[in-house]
Amino acid sequence: MDGAGEPGGPGAARGSARTSRDIARAAVRAELAQVAFELFCREGFDHVTVNELAAAAGVSRSTFLRYFHTKEEAVLGAFDTHGTQVADALRARPAGEDDWAALRRALDTVADQYRQDPAGTLAIARLVQDTPALCARQLEKQHGWRPALTEALAERGGSDGPASLVLSVRVAAALDCLNVAVDHWSESDGRLDLVDLLDEAFAALAPR
């Protein structure tokens, strides 16, 4: 044996190196995003160029664009994993739970992100709401979540065929509830509880 599969062998070293690179890349990405966010808040999203973002971060334009292909991604990149997280949470819900209740509980994974850093997420929510380009890109990202969430609902129901229109509508409505709840939360300066707002939004469309 060449040791590639052993804890101390070359394979483990390569795996550790990859992990270290991933951690380092994530740290740089987070730092660049923070610099961009602060500049957007001071100057306004539309008034800041990629060159100015790179200069403020102390990196070249090409380096900045390796981490974020667009200015929008510098703000919204943190949302990329939310769709997968919600889909995983949806699959983990009890089998006997109805689809609408399961969707509501699965969205707690998103609400938890807001609760962990209320000041930071409130500032981001306001920036997005005040910037048409960011609003459009965020909605586009959420639209990309729909197939995975619809598929997760179908799997919960035991279906191995194409997801139905009904399931697609439920997912779309659930995401709309999330957006309305976040809007109200932001308008209250974070004083209202986002989970309560999400409950209220879902209750408004719950089957009677």
- Kindly state whether residue 5 falls inside one of the protein's structural domains: no
Q: Are 195 and 108 in contact (CB under 8 A)?
A: yes
HSE-up of residue 116 (Cα within 13 Å, Cβ side) = 6
pTM greater than 0.85 = no
pLDDT of residue 172: 96
Output Rg (C-alpha) for the chain, integer angstroms: 20
Give the structural domain span for 53.
10-75
User: What is the pLDDT, as a whole number, of residue 72?
Assistant: 94
Query: H-helix or E-strand containing 95?
Result: none
The one-letter code for the residue type at 15 is G
Q: Tally the domains of the chain.
A: 2
Return d(Cα 170, Cα 202) in angstroms, integer. 11
Given a contact cutoff of 8 angstroms between Cβ atoms, the answer to whether 191 and 122 are in contact is: no
What is residue 162's predicted lDDT score, i.e. its pLDDT? 62
My answer on whether 112 and 152 are in the same domain is yes
Residues of the chain where predicted confidence (pLDDT) is lower than 70: 1-18, 158-163
- pLDDT for res 25: 86
Rounded-to-integer distance, Cα 65 and Cα 40, Å: 17
Report the CATH number at residue 22. Answer: 1.10.10.60
